[in-house]
Amino acid sequence: MAPRAFTLPDGTRVGVDFADEGHPTVLGQCAPLRGPVKSVQRNKLIADAFKLVWLRDTHFPDARVVLAMGEQLSRHLARGSWLRSAFATHGIAVVLVDDRTTVRSLDTIT
């Protein structure tokens, strides 16, 4: 996995924080992992999710969409929140990354 930039057939350019080589099977973005969460970070998270889903749905339909974030930001995705439900509906996987770079799925958090 590495940062990737794509130039689409219509000339549109779009970058992602990580994707595999060739025709991607994973498209991902990393959200801020530390510090207090501000509304601008939450809004960027939503924009990143929209970009990844658009890219997948229009150009790489077999790719998995992944958002990596820290515990602080994941509080916006508490069970029962509209954002968590929207991400699930659109096939967006969320993984949490801690200070030791341990990665775990949001679904494992109670």
Q: Which CATH number fits domain 21-108: 1.10.3910, 3.90.1200, 3.40.50, 3.40.1000?
A: 3.40.50
| Amino acid of residue 69 | M
Which residue did the predictor score with more confidence, 26 or 42?
Answer: 26
pLDDT of residue 17: 95
pLDDT, average across residues 14-39: 87
Whole-number percent of the chain with pLDDT over 70: 85
Query: So where are the chain's domains?
Result: 21-108
pTM over 0.85: no
> How far apart, in whole angstroms, are the C-alpha atoms of residue 77 and residue 88?
10
In the 8-state DSSP scheme, what is residue 34? Answer: S
